[in-house]
């Protein structure tokens, strides 16, 4: 056979790969999926890490107040302002504020509620406390911070 006849028989090799149309279809499906899934898991405005950080900040303040009560042998309170999302420890000028998207709830003794939006947790010189629970929440996610009345132990619960 001559070269002229073999050239007519040969076909160019077929290119394999993804066409632009296939790529656009996949990207559109991913965008639709992301639009549906994102509000279900992350659309509350605060990440789970930031929420846990806020819970740890409140727990650290409560533990500091307990340590201060033991060290000074004086009752120490942690004042929680639920509306302003802030707390302050007695004899400390620093007001610790939490992100605006975080919701605070307080469960404590009736005598320790100043009003509907301000309450306190007290720690005694022997290490005990009046007990209670502080809830740090955002949407359906929440962390409960329990304060044991007998030992004053502070624990974060999921």
The pLDDT value given to residue 40: 65
Between 10 and 142, residue with greater pLDDT? 142
Between 139 and 10, residue with greater pLDDT? 139
Delimit the domains of the chain by residue range: 48-157
pLDDT confidence bin for 39, thresholds 50/70/90: low
Three-state secondary structure readout of the chain:
CCHHHHHHHCCCCCCCCCCHHHHHHHHHHHHHHHHHHHHHHCCCCCCHHHHHHHHHHHHHHHHHHHHHHHHHCCCEEEEEECCCCEEEECCCCCEEECCCCCEEEEECCHHHECCCCEEEEEECCCCCECCEEEEEEECCEEEEEEECCCCCCEEEEC
The verdict on pTM exceeding 0.95 is: no
Give the mean pLDDT of 24-35.
89
**Residue-level length of the chain:** 158
Using the structure block, give the residue that is written with the tokens 């070269």.
3
The pLDDT value given to residue 16: 77
**Domain range 48-157, CATH class:** alpha beta
For residue range 110-151, what is the model confidence (pLDDT) as tens digits? Answer: 999 999 999 999 999 999 999 999 999 998 899 999 999 999
């Amino acid at each position: 056979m001559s070269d002229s006849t073999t050239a007519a028989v040969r076909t160019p090799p077929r290119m394999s790969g993804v066409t632009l149309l296939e790529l656009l279809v996949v990207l559109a499906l991913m965008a639709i999926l992301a639009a549906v899934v994102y509000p279900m898991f992350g659309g509350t405005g605060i990440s789970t890490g930031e929420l846990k950080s806020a819970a740890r900040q409140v727990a650290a303040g409560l533990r500091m107040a307990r340590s201060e009560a033991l060290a000074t042998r004086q009752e120490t309170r942690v004042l929680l302002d639920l509306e302003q999302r802030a707390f302050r420890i007695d004899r400390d000028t620093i007001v610790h504020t939490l992100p605006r998207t975080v919701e605070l709830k307080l469960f404590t003794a009736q005598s320790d509620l100043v009003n509907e939006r301000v309450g306190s947790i007290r720690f005694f010189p022997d290490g005990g406390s009046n007990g209670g629970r502080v809830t740090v929440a955002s949407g359906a996610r929440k962390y409960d911070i329990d304060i044991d009345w007998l030992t004053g132990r502070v624990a974060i619960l999921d």
